[in-house]
Structure 1
Amino acid sequence: MPFTIASLVRFEEDIKKSRFEAIAVPVENEQAVKDFLEANKDLTTTHQCWAWKIGHQVRFNDDGEPSGTAGRPILATIEGNELTNVLVLVNRWYGGIKLGTGGLVRAYGGCAGQCLLLAEKIELIEKKKVEFQCQFNEWAIFQYELNSQNIEFEEQYGADGVQVNALLQVHQIEPLALKIQDVTRGREQLKVMEEPADD
């Protein structure tokens, strides 16, 4: 089961006079990554290295450190903790002593790892997009059902009824499908859209 982190966490340590600060944050999509990195640009740092993983997508950045010494070790700690939908940014303020490539890998990976140990892990619940149609007189029943389970939905009114798009947790799909068959006496079916939902 994939996990993400509940909220933003920070960890700081000094290694041979360089100060390292790791910030881990949950992210839903690439735009959230860009927004966070933009908001946390710090011109006082020597390097701002980061890595993120969202589903099967991964990216990392060494920000001027020798290739493979910063972004990749940060990503390795995210994957080692079996996390997804997470961005870890590690800021470094250079203190005058070179760490060497092995030292950098340990510093960036270690700082990111310590930061993630502080985070509360939560299960990432997979959601799927679904759609169904119903008649106007049936809509109140479904509206009540969706609201009572805190399901996100949008409805569109057409000439011949209501078209509903919703975002369901996997375990909610079958009960709703049965409810739709029951209420519409088998006239309508719940359609599960194939592409995974972004959020």
Structure 2
Amino acid sequence: MAFTLSTQVCFEEDIKKSRFQAIAVPVENEQAVKDFLEANRDISTTHQCWAWKIGHTVRFNDDGEPSGTAGRPILATIEGNDLTNVLVLVNRWYGGVKLGTGGLVRAYGGCAGQCLMLAEKIELIEKKKVQFSCQFNEWAIIQYDLNQQKIEFQEEYTATGVDIEAALQVHQIEPLAIKLQDVSRGREQLKIVDE
């Protein structure tokens, strides 16, 4: 069972005069990772090391620290907490005392670990994208159903009706497919979009 974070969380600590700040945040895709790292770029830091995991895809960056002393220990804390769809960024402001490779591993991994301990973890529920269409008079019924179940969707109005794209939890797909069949009298089908 995989978990992710409910919200962003931060943790700071000083280790031998260096200040470490960890920020952990839930992310849905690589674009969200890029956007977060861009928004949190800080030129006052000495190093901005990070790691993320989305599904089976992982990336990490030592940002000038000795190879394997920052990104990998951060990733290890993510995986050690059974987390996915998570990015952890650890900023370091150098304080003049060298920590050595073992000290860096403990500092980056420890700071990331402390940060993740503060985070509220929620079970990650797999979602699938679906697409379907309906006529204008059917849309109100289906839209009400989507809103009741708090399903995220985007609608696009066309000359003939409405095209909808939605992100559904796996257990919501079949009931919506049946609802669409009923409302459209068998005319419309729910299509699952492969990522």
Q: 2:59 matched to 1:54?
A: no
Summarize deviations over 1:157-189 as a string: whole Å, max 9, x none: 344x54332221211111111222333343433
Structure 1's 76 and 143: CA in aligned 2 closer, same or farther, altered over 3 A? same
After superposition, the CA RMSD in angstroms is 2.0
* TM-score between both structures, scaled by the size of structure 1: 0.86
Summarize deviations over 1:27-57 as a string: whole Å, max 9, x none: 2222322232223222232211111122222
Structure 1's 136 and 91: CA in aligned 2 closer, same or farther, altered over 3 A? closer
Partner of 1:138: 138
Q: Which ranges of structure 2 fall in alignment gaps of 5 or more residues? A: none
Contact 2:2 2:84 in 1 (8 A): yes
Q: 2:87 matched to 1:87?
A: yes
Query: Using the alignment, how far apart are the partners of 1:14 and 1:108 within structure 2?
Result: 11
Partner of 1:154: 155
Cα drift, residue 120 of structure 1? 0.7
Structure 1's 48 and 163: CA in aligned 2 closer, same or farther, altered over 3 A? closer
Structure 1's 106 and 132: CA in aligned 2 closer, same or farther, altered over 3 A? same
Contact 2:11 2:22 in 1 (8 A): yes
One-letter code of the match for 1:146?
L
* TM-score between both structures, scaled by the size of structure 2: 0.88
Summarize deviations over 1:134-155 as a string: whole Å, max 9, x none: 3444333222222322222314
Query: Using the alignment, how far apart are the partners of 2:122 and 2:46 within structure 1?
Result: 33
Partner of 1:100: 100
Q: 2:167 matched to 1:167?
A: yes
Query: Using the alignment, how far apart are the partners of 1:76 and 1:9 within structure 2?
Result: 18
Q: 2:77 matched to 1:113?
A: no
Query: Using the alignment, how far apart are the partners of 1:67 and 1:193 within structure 2?
Result: 39
Contact 1:153 1:167 in 2 (8 A): no
Describe the SS at the equivalent of 2:84: coil
Partner of 2:2: 2
Q: Which ranges of structure 1 fall in alignment gaps of 5 or more residues? A: none
One-letter code of the match for 1:116?
L
Partner of 1:190: 190
Aligned residue runs from structure 1 range 22-41, under 5 A: 22-41=22-41
